[in-house]
Amino acid sequence: MKETVKNILEKYINISCESTIIVGFSGGWDSMCLLDIMNKLSREYGFLLVAAHLNHNWRGKESEAEKERCLAFCEENDITFISDTLAEGMKASELVAREMRYDFFKRCAEEFEADAILTAHTKSDNAETILYRIIKGTGLNGLEGIREVRDLGGFKVIRPILNFSRKDIEEYCIKNELYPNNDSSNVNTKYARNNIRHNIMPAIKLINPNIENSLITLAEIASGNNKVINELMENIEKQITIGNKWLTQNFLILNSAIKQHFIYKLLVKNELEPSFTKIQELINFISENRNSKTGKTLSITNDLWLFVSHKYTYFIHSDNYEKIEEEIKIEGTGEYIIGGKYKVKIEKNNHKPEKYPKAISPEAYADIKDEMFPLTLRSRRNGDIIQPFGMQGKMKLKKYFINKNIPEHDRDKILLLCKDKEVLWAIECGVSEKLRAEDIPQYKLTLEKLNNE
């Protein structure tokens, strides 16, 4: 087993005396086996081995006793030990436990500047996970089961005993005279995975004694098919995407399976549960709003929306709704910074431009009468009006934005150069007729987005 673990680690990291490796250590059979193997490798290579133990605090004195046994094992074997205890009253669910564990592992990895985090998932865990996902409903990606390596905030999480069954683990522990903890909650079948382990899997084994290997084979087939699908999807995505947006009409002519896979990947990318119901909801929303000029939004989470217009479809994050509340007084020529993100420059001009900038340009030429100053630089407010370039009358700014097909979520981000309630320049949108330049424009106006990195 040691050689297998070493070979898997060397696929993903360089093992040396300068390495630091975190092992998630509950003290149970699986993690005891993995930590013992890693301790042997540590003596061989000289890397720093850290055992990270999280007390979920669900079983009172029993949990505390397990922590003490883990500490004793590490002290006896000269292994660095780090632990944390969750607050009392935290919801006792598998999902919460998993999230808290990985958060703890990540904090440990940051503290020790680790090269990798190891968890003791086995072939049996993988088979149970695949079966659990089949029961709950999953796609091809879910059928891949537990992956040998994954990313956790820039750290590699590696599962080096994933090819060994629970029986292999037990034999190793007995042979090496290890005495793991026996977590009483592992036999509580109110938890879905325990129910699968103690009731459902044994029942299936009466039909197929080799069910674990059958499920792992299914995962390998799914993984191979996914590689083919992903390669094809990359070619399709290139045809329908522009940056982080995709062309609505091009998306809708795809066949239903490709549309579903496309949405699936986007949900996963945004760390959302890609259920069939949610995928279909998003596809239906896109179809229903395919002809919207200014676009419609669908709330997905508290800080994520789907935007659909006749032209583009894309996800909007909460920072896209950020409105600049600051207001800057413009006394004349100079550079004005607003919101810490933008610089507006107003400078005298003494030449006739070869070509006037387009309305959507961050530059504009204008005649500004002296009596117009001071002006204000701000974002939109109720009651704002504008006299569009080339028109005699004025209109509400809201209607102006609608006519320009500006999506609702983008309107607060547009900076406005105003005289009281009248907008003279909606930056990167259009100039008012009031600033029409004759012959040689008096001023050149420029918006610059600041790099705050």
* 161 & 257 share domain: no
* 286 & 357 share domain: no
Between CA 163 and CA 285 the distance in angstroms is 43
Half-sphere exposure (CA, 13 Å, Cβ side) for 18?
2
* 311 & 352 share domain: no
Q: What's the CATH code of the domain at 294?
A: 3.30.465
Amino acid identity, residue 292? S
Q: What's the CATH code of the domain at 140?
A: 3.40.50.620
In terms of DSSP bridges, do strands 375-378 and 304-308 run parallel, antiparallel, or are they unpaired? unpaired
Between CA 254 and CA 246 the distance in angstroms is 12
pLDDT at 453: 43
Of 372, 405, 400, which is closest to residue 384 (Cα–Cα)? 400
pLDDT at 78: 93
Q: What is the per-residue pLDDT across 227-276, written as a single tens digit (0 to 9) for each? A: 998 888 889 988 899 988 899 999 999 999 899 988 988 888 887 877 88
In a domain, 228, yes or no: no
Contacts with 317 (C-beta within 8 Å, 6 or more apart), sequence order: 303, 304
Regions of the chain with pLDDT less than 50: 453
* 311 & 336 share domain: no
In a domain, 247, yes or no: yes
Of 405, 343, 408, 404, which is closest to residue 380 (Cα–Cα)? 408
* 381 & 258 share domain: no
Of 265, 257, 256, 255, which is closest to residue 234 (Cα–Cα)? 265
pLDDT at 272: 82
Between CA 296 and CA 306 the distance in angstroms is 8
In a domain, 222, yes or no: no
No. of H helices and E strands in the chain?
A: 15, 22
Contact call for residues 321 and 301 (beta carbons, < 8 A): no
Amino acid identity, residue 108? C
In a domain, 133, yes or no: yes
- 392: domain range? 328-449
**Which of 293, 320, 347 lies at the terminal end of a domain, its last residue?**
320
* 248 & 377 share domain: no
* 373 & 401 share domain: yes
In a domain, 225, yes or no: no
Total domains, the chain: 3
* 257 & 361 share domain: no
pLDDT at 91: 67
In a domain, 126, yes or no: yes
**Which of 211, 226, 257 lies at the terminal end of a domain, its last residue?**
211
In a domain, 124, yes or no: yes
In a domain, 123, yes or no: yes
**Which of 280, 298, 320 lies at the terminal end of a domain, its last residue?**
320
Between CA 319 and CA 61 the distance in angstroms is 45
pLDDT at 277: 87
Contacts with 68 (C-beta within 8 Å, 6 or more apart), sequence order: none
* 28 & 112 share domain: yes
Contact call for residues 446 and 412 (beta carbons, < 8 A): no
Give the distance from CA 117 to its chain's centroid: 20
* 280 & 203 share domain: no
pTM for this prediction: 0.62
* 170 & 304 share domain: no
* 283 & 185 share domain: no
